């Protein structure tokens, strides 16, 4: 197993940006064979590309399941093509798969490419998977923000989150514009309804902690998805909005979506 960190130049972002990559197919257990499947793993609002490396044994999971795990960086963008900023959605869904296929010996075909994330990254993973089902075959969301419109409409409550939220009003203005107009095209309720009627639809895993402040959003979204033609696994257990929960959710999702490597 190899762990790489470095910078790549993104045409979507018009700048260098950091990625971490866990690659299972070299080292003492090297086995010849097809390129491994790939998982994009997305950080939360106060994190960066290194978060899963620092807070979970993601390198062990890469080796255990024989998958490549790519961890990109999007700052606090909510994975959007920002009105007053950079094109992070385009970077994640259009450019990053091709970049990774060129840089590493990994498979990014639809059947071999999944996406998952924690908190803001959980929203970003579902947004990407539902809006680009031709790119991603499976999606995992851990303690996710499921209702982007209510998140933006109630931005004032983020002030109570200390440094994480005190500038959220300005950040949302940069993402969505000064009028805070959240388009229907990024709303998970609309997107999931639309993708459920299409031939290609991603499998979905949602994990939420019962003490998480976003728990109610997950329950409401679960109830919505259960009415749709989407293959969903929903789990909840005692836990808060932290890395103890995030690691457990990642471990459970991997067990559902992947077979352990021989």
Please state, in angstroms and rounded to a whole number, the distance separating the CA atoms of residues 6 and 10: 13
CA-to-CA separations, 56 to 38, 99, 101, 118, 180, in angstroms, rounded: 18, 25, 25, 12, 35
pTM of whole model > 0.85?
A: yes
Q: How far apart are the first and last CA of the chain?
A: 14
Q: Is residue 242 part of a domain?
A: yes
- The structure tokens listed for 247 are 């690691």
Q: How confident is the model over 70-98, as pLDDT tens digits?
A: 999 999 999 999 999 999 999 999 999 99
Name the DSSP class of 87.
B
Q: How confident is the model at residue 170 (pLDDT cuts 50, 70, 90)?
A: confident
Top pLDDT among 187 and 261 is at 187
Pairing of strands 15-23, 68-71: antiparallel
CA pair distance 71, 58, nearest whole angstrom: 10
24 is a domain residue: yes
Taking only the tens place, the pLDDT of each residue in 204-254 is: 999 999 999 999 999 999 999 999 999 999 999 999 999 999 999 999 999
Does any domain span residue 32? yes
Asked if pLDDT for residue 161 goes beyond 60, the answer is no
CA distances from 34 to 103, 106, 109, 209 (A): 16, 8, 12, 37
pLDDT tens per residue, range 33-62: 789 999 999 999 999 999 999 999 999 999
Residue 206 lies in a domain: yes
Q: Residue 81 has what DSSP assignment? A: B
Q: Quick one: pLDDT at residue 30? A: 58
Residue 224: give its domain's CATH number: 3.40.50.1820
User: Is residue 176 one of the residues assigned to a domain?
Assistant: yes
Residue at 70 is within a domain: yes
Find the domain containing 20 and state its range: 2-257
Q: What percent of the chain has pLDDT over 70?
A: 92
Q: Give the count of domains, the chain.
A: 1
The helix/strand/coil state of 9 is strand
pLDDT at 197 over 90: yes
Task: Provide the pLDDT confidence category of residue 29 given band limits of 50, 70 and 90.
Answer: low
Query: Residue 64: inside a domain, yes or no?
Result: yes
160, part of any domain: yes
pLDDT digits (tens, 9 = 90+) for 120-136: 999 999 999 999 999 99
């Amino acid at each position: 197993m190899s762990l790489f960190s470095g910078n790549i130049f993104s045409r979507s972002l018009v700048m260098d940006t950091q990625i971490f990559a866990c690659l299972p197919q070299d080292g003492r257990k090297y086995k010849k064979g097809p390129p491994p499947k790939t998982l994009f793993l997305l950080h939360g609002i106060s994190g960066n590309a290194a978060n899963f490396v620092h807070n979970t044994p993601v390198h062990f999971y890469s080796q255990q399941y024989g998958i490549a795990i790519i961890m990109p960086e999007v700052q606090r963008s909510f994975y959007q093509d920002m009105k007053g900023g950079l094109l992070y959605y385009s970077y994640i869904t259009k450019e990053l798969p091709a970049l990774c296929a060129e840089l590493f010996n990994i498979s990014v075909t639809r059947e071999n490419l999944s996406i998952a994330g924690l908190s803001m990254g959980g929203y970003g993973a579902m947004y990407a998977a539902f809006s680009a089902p031709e790119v991603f075959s499976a999606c995992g969301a851990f303690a996710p923000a499921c209702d982007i419109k209510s998140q933006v409409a109630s931005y004032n409550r983020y002030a109570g989150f200390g440094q994480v939220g005190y500038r959220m009003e300005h950040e949302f203005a940069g993402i969505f514009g000064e009028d805070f107009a959240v388009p229907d095209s990024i709303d998970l309720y609309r997107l999931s309804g639309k993708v459920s009627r299409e031939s290609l639809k991603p499998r979905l895993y949602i994990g939420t902690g019962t003490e998480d402040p976003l728990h109610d959003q997950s329950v409401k979204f679960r109830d919505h998805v259960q009415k749709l033609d989407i293959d969903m696994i929903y789990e909840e257990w005692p836990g808060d909005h932290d890395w103890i929960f995030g690691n457990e959710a990642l471990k459970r999702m991997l067990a559902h979506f992947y077979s352990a490597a021989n």
